[in-house]
Chain A
């Protein structure tokens, strides 16, 4: 991927739309996780509309890049990206979390076959990504594997089992992205089990480590391009983000990790801030 060839304006526009769709979906379902969906939106937009090789007209193309949303609770952002990319219709989005909907409360590949890994139980995605990246290597496929982790998720032991193993087998096609928004469900990450120095931990595990602003498109695209240039080690991008990014009253607010605003005027305000009506 050549970051210079990517249209940053388009990515910014897609990210805006993803945020608005996330809020519309959550407003319709009345439950879900706005904070972590909004913090991840810019990175997901860069992956789906700039970096990943994938074919919406051929969703199971063998050489597609894989994306695992290990922090499965942020799935509204993923579903919105899939709709924007043309994999699913926009009409489907407001069925989020409804009985019979393929858009389950956490991603479920039994209901939506496009999902590479059904997540929601934190800690498993990076290991799954290792398996998929090894499979690509054995098939001699150029496919790359991207795994997005939550910061709180890094408290799970299995993440570090995977972190130890991927560099050992020189898995250069694997790229982990930590959505470091500093809040988890019960409290701030540093109040529960402080992860810092997080980047140093990954360095100590022999990863190629990049630290970026997870809302700066140039940073995100450059780091993903650098990741692709390192063939003998996996890359982790520690992306500093803002939980609830884009809705002023949600930003950095613990309450909106796993709760949707209950007042209609709050929803209206969020949608207005996210440019509802201005379809991009």
Chain B
């Protein structure tokens, strides 16, 4: 198996921190970048930008709806806004504004929700976003991305600034393993194949990419050749890469830190069904909220570990073998 990650994975910074750093760099280069936050600039790291560019930073207070519409007005006036809060507040309190002021009005606004998923841990479910990707993907014209590490985040923030059209990106609270080396290039809608396995494909996004890589290493020792794909863009989906994986490996597992029934897995299942149906399994959060605790405890309790991916790999391979047996008869 040819792998593109360095084993063992080395811990890198949180994607939210990479976001803040990338924004501050972009601010130097492009005077049209403006940044908005709703009283969480220390947590979302937009404060880095705010310190450097006071006149282009707007902290509107705890008023997400107002922030999202102001961002659209700034875009109408020729600027490139990045608006941030926790993913849960941005998406749920700003949804009408994302829908009407950005999707419907076709304004070029970038939204970055931090503390995505349940890995923020101790703060508990009111702060955790388990549905943001599904909600964002429902918005016509939105590009939706979940970067896996700092390099991916910085590159995708840059891609968002260059892309004309509304973007939603989810970043996370905890430090995450580094997948990519410096200088790796990213485009929206172009998934990264991280290993070339032929028995089964694990498609993941966000922090589940590292978990998928670790699961692939364990599976390899058990004689299973796993293809790992970082599907960092949920919309537009890289259907060609997914179709090729379905055709060449014949079994797909999707792993995401999101409600399993409304996120990346559902989108991929649609593409697979349409283009090349194969058995699929899904690793994600069941129809429930999580709870407080250390991130690793929460991820384990709600089904987001290497063991959960390996279990799904076993199940999907059993189904694949059964299918092959039926065809052979």
Contact = CB atoms under 8 A, between A and B. Distances in A.
A133 B66 CA distance: 14
A132 B63 contact: no
B77 A136 contact: yes
B72 interface: yes
A183 interface: no
A118 B73 CA distance: 11
Given A134-B58, A138-B56, A165-B61, A124 B69 contact: yes
B65 interface: yes
Residue picked from A109, A127, A131, A165, most chain B C-beta under 10 Å: A131
Contacts of B78: 62, 135, 139
Given A131-B72, A165-B60, 12 more contacts: A124-B96, A127-B68, A127-B97, A128-B70, A128-B72, A129-B73, A130-B73, A131-B77, A135-B74, A138-B56, A139-B78, A158-B65
B55 A124 contact: no
Contacts of B77: 131-132, 134-136, 138-139
B34 interface: yes
Contacts of A116: 76
Nearest to A168: B61
B104 interface: yes
B100 A161 contact: no
B239 interface: no
Contact of A135 (B76, B100, B106): B76
20 contacts: A117-B73, A118-B100, A118-B105, A121-B96, A127-B65, A127-B66, A127-B69, A128-B69, A128-B101, A130-B66, A131-B69, A131-B70, A131-B71, A132-B77, A138-B77, A158-B65, A161-B63, A162-B69, A165-B63, A165-B66
A157 interface: yes
Nearest to B56: A138
A54 to B, nearest CB: 15
Interface in B116-139: none
Nearest to B74: A131
A210 B104 CA distance: 34
Interface string B43-68: 00000000000011010110101101
Q: From DSSP, what is the main secondary structure of chain B's interface residues?
A: helix
A107 to B, nearest CB: 10
B75 interface: yes
A134 B72 CA distance: 11
B188 interface: no
A164 interface: yes
B100 A124 contact: yes
A42 B65 CA distance: 31
A161 B78 CA distance: 23
B142 interface: no
Contacts of A135: 73-74, 76-79
A109 B100 CA distance: 11
Interface string A144-173: 000000000000011001101100010000
A111 to B, nearest CB: 11
A134 B100 contact: no
Contact of B73 (A110, A131, A164): A131
Contacts of B70: 127-128, 130-131, 134, 162, 165
Residue picked from B56, B70, B79, most chain A C-beta under 10 Å: B70
A96 B266 CA distance: 40
Contact of A110 (B56, B76, B96, B106): B106
Given A118-B105, A138-B55, A138-B56, A131 B76 contact: yes
B74 A118 contact: no
Nearest to B76: A132
Contacts of A124: 69, 96-97, 100-101
A59 to B, nearest CB: 14
Interface string A186-212: 000000000000000000000000000
A117 B76 contact: yes
A267 B101 CA distance: 36
A132 B73 contact: yes
B123 to A, nearest CB: 24
